[in-house]
Amino acid sequence: MNYQEFVSSVTGFLREALPCDTELSLVPLEKNNGVILEGLTVRKEGERAAPAIYLDSYYQEYLAGRSLRQIQETILECCEDNCFSEHFDASFFTDYRKVRPTVVYKLINYEKNQELLKRIPHIPFLNLAVVFYSFLPDTPVGNATVLIHNSHMEYWKITCGELYRDAKQNTPRLLPAEVKSMSQVLSELSDGLDTQEEDEIPMYVLTNSGKALGAACILYEGMLKYCASWLDSAYYLLPSSIHEVILIPKAAVSNEQELGEMVRDINRTQVLKTEVLSDQIYFYSPESGQLSIVKEEKRQI
């Protein structure tokens, strides 16, 4: 069964199983880095908000061997249990005084998101862009986010500068930063097992408390300087993904070129396309207090 047949089967099943006043819509949703995913919105009569169900992930489960019936019933259960609109007053988004405490920022790649950036307020940062969203924790469907568009900003009659001012205050408060050694992170993921060899390069992970969109922690006031003091060193900063960055003390790196090649290889093979932040590596100097892109030498072919 190909993807379109899978989608047709799922939507057909839901139309029969859900109340007749339920509106099902398949909509293309632009995600990070220009990736377009198909979302299924399920809206009951009178509801204003309808979170999207991404069918691609379910199709991957089908290809991996999960039965179509199990997948259909899982999606149906998600639709029936979805009480998001009963607990979330979408009208709050019309009043910026209510939205203001929820405004935070994240980092995305500038070049890969040029079309999206035409429609959303943003601030260039090196080869990245600072963009804004409303962070709504602990909703009935988990943590929810709403990307802020130019149309929102115009409706609220505010500027990008005001968004940045509020996000600068809110983001460290709502999503505080965490810095841990790579060995500590891996130990936590493996239930305490020691997974780092003694001769490995020392690496440290900077992210936020939610482990989501945590690369933006590098924007927190004083954070880069704090990391230099914590490491007692200048350091290279590797954009692991939009969710975290990796710090490596300067003395531990002998070849910048190899470091850059490693980042690009990992982005191609291990990071989801929607989660890639950058193919460049960065360097923070405590003397200058500046983060800069490392200019690597182009290899001769």
35-56 b/e with 16+ CB inside 10 Å = b?
eeebbbebbeeeeebbbebebe
C-alpha 83/C-alpha 60 separation (Å) is 26
Tokens of 204: 């440290």
- Within 10 Å of residue 10's Cβ, how many Cβ atoms? 23
Is the pLDDT confidence value at 65 over 80?
A: yes
pLDDT band with cut points at 50, 70 and 90 for residue 90: low
pLDDT of the residue at 48? 61
Asked if the model's pLDDT at residue 197 lies above 60, the reply is no
pLDDT band at 114 (very low <50, low <70, confident <90, very high): very high
Q: How confident is the model at residue 47 (pLDDT cuts 50, 70, 90)?
A: low
Tell me whether strands 128-139 and 122-125 are parallel, antiparallel or unpaired. antiparallel
Going by pLDDT thresholds of 50, 70 and 90, the confidence category of residue 180 is very high
- Lowest mean per-residue pLDDT among 36-45, 83-92, 198-207: 83-92
pLDDT digits (tens, 9 = 90+) for 233-285: 999 999 999 999 999 999 999 899 999 999 999 999 999 899 999 999 999 99
What pLDDT is attached to residue 89? 56
Strand partners of residue 132: 105
